[in-house]
Chain A
Amino acid sequence: MKNHVLRPLFAAMALVALILTARALMVPSDFGVHGKSFTYNFYRAGAVSDWKNFPVSYKGGGSCVECHDENAESLAASRHQIIQCENCHGPARNHPEDPETLTINRSRDLCLRCHADLPYPGSLRSELPAIDPGEHNPGEACVECHNPHNPNLEDME
């Protein structure tokens, strides 16, 4: 056969070879079907361990008790025991090394998340002790009078 007839064929074969080589170089070896379905389980296996190695910031109250047992005891006796330490004290991350101290959120807005009065029948919100933020000492920080670890009004100084 004449050379000019075969030339496009060779060009096409070279192109296919180039694409296959590029694919072999660029696609990670752990890329493929890992599971039962091509539709849902076609991925790079390393991505799963990438997500597993994401750093944990919120360590949970259990890790706070190890050192701050006094605070944990007083909190455990109050109705605020259901609130996680880190909701107000911020994520522990690698405390006490990094950060050495946590920034406590003492703002009025933090308390109002639950205690601003909303008349919502059928929601647990309406059963929480609540104030009207516009009437109840507006602008004052709640922690000036209320102890967040023991919010009982009778124990309030």
Chain B
Amino acid sequence: MKCSRRSFLKKGLGSAIAASLPLSSFKFLSPAEARAAVGDPAVRWGFLINTYKCTGCGFCVKACKKENKVPYDLPVTRTWVERYVVTRDGEAHIDSPAGGRDGYTDPKIEGKEIAAEEITKAFFVPKLCNQCQNPACVQVCPVGATFQTEDGVVLVDRTWCIGCGYCIMACPYGVRFFHPVYKVAEKCTFCYHRITKGMKSACVQACPFGARQIGDLKDPDDPVTRAILTQRVAVLKDEYGTKPQVFYIGLDENVR
């Protein structure tokens, strides 16, 4: 075998570099791990809903519609509150008249009278855009009109949306709708104009009972992050793999 000085030095240098690499550099990183390693300074907005505290007053829905200028009397809303009444026979009675905008003042559900002694559990569940880490609605947009910001909020570019409605179909949570005035896709923005100014979202501010909270999931000292890390929380439709960032305390199997 012939070994020139040049090839010996080349191979020697190559194997020295390879030997100096630690084994960990060959490990596959998950996208989250890679991001953490790169050191992303941006915030990641997340939401926490405590269903035990929600009283179904609907002030959140009212505030959202007025803050974001969603047509008040049309059957569209960015956030809504659902009522679940489970009776002794195991049946769940569910309604959300006008998205709960005017609160729940009538014990009747869709005209049905339910006796108090028949109710085993009953509760209210506020819903809004989950601002998913893997948003299905963004994947399907054919023109790049909807997107995820660096701080994790999914927005719609009203000047760019063509109103095809693919995203409204793609969202597993049904949070998107067609804006009757602007004729484009519309959705909850976590009140992006408020949270980027250091304010709370309109629904969070309007809630008298603290059932809704918004926070930065990248800040371990944020009360929302701490609650998500230390308490028993769940997300909606986890099986879809969209990685929703709205967490619920006290979620029930009847809630879909």
Interface residues of A (CB under 8 A from B): 31, 34-37, 39-44, 47-48, 50-58, 60, 82-84, 86-87, 90-91, 109, 112-114, 116-125, 128, 133
Contact A43 to B193, CB < 8 A, known contacts A58-B67, A113-B103, A118-B122: no
A87 near B208: Cβ-Cβ < 8 Å:
yes
Contact of A55 among B146, B147, B193 (CB under 8 A): B193
Contact of A58 among B53, B103, B120, B205 (CB under 8 A): B205
Contact A40 to B135, CB < 8 A, known contacts A113-B59, A113-B105: yes
- Interface stretch among B20-28, B150-158, B165-173, B221-229? B150-158
A54 near B192: Cβ-Cβ < 8 Å:
yes
B119 at the interface (CB under 8 A from A): yes
How many contacts A-B (CB < 8 Å)?
Answer: 153
Give the docked Cα–Cα distance between A58 and B206 (Å).
Answer: 9
Min CB distance B201 to A, Å, is 10
Contact of B158 among A39, A50, A118, A121 (CB under 8 A): A50
Known contacts A40-B135, A51-B192; 20 further A-B pairs (Cβ under 8 A): A40-B148, A41-B147, A44-B160, A47-B157, A48-B149, A51-B189, A55-B193, A58-B206, A84-B59, A87-B59, A91-B66, A109-B103, A114-B103, A116-B103, A116-B104, A117-B107, A118-B56, A120-B123, A123-B123, A128-B55
Give the docked Cα–Cα distance between A149 and B93 (Å).
Answer: 35
Nearest neighbor of B51 in chain A, beta-carbon distance: A123
Give the docked Cα–Cα distance between A111 and B226 (Å).
Answer: 34
A57 near B66: Cβ-Cβ < 8 Å:
yes
B85 at the interface (CB under 8 A from A): yes
Cross-chain pairs A/B with CB under 8 angstroms, 10 sampled: A43-B147, A51-B192, A84-B205, A86-B63, A87-B206, A120-B121, A122-B122, A123-B52, A123-B123, A124-B209
Give the docked Cα–Cα distance between A82 and B205 (Å).
Answer: 10
Contact A51 to B155, CB < 8 A, known contacts A60-B205, A87-B206, A114-B103: yes
Give the docked Cα–Cα distance between A118 and B121 (Å).
Answer: 12
Nearest neighbor of B135 in chain A, beta-carbon distance: A40
Min CB distance A80 to B, Å, is 8
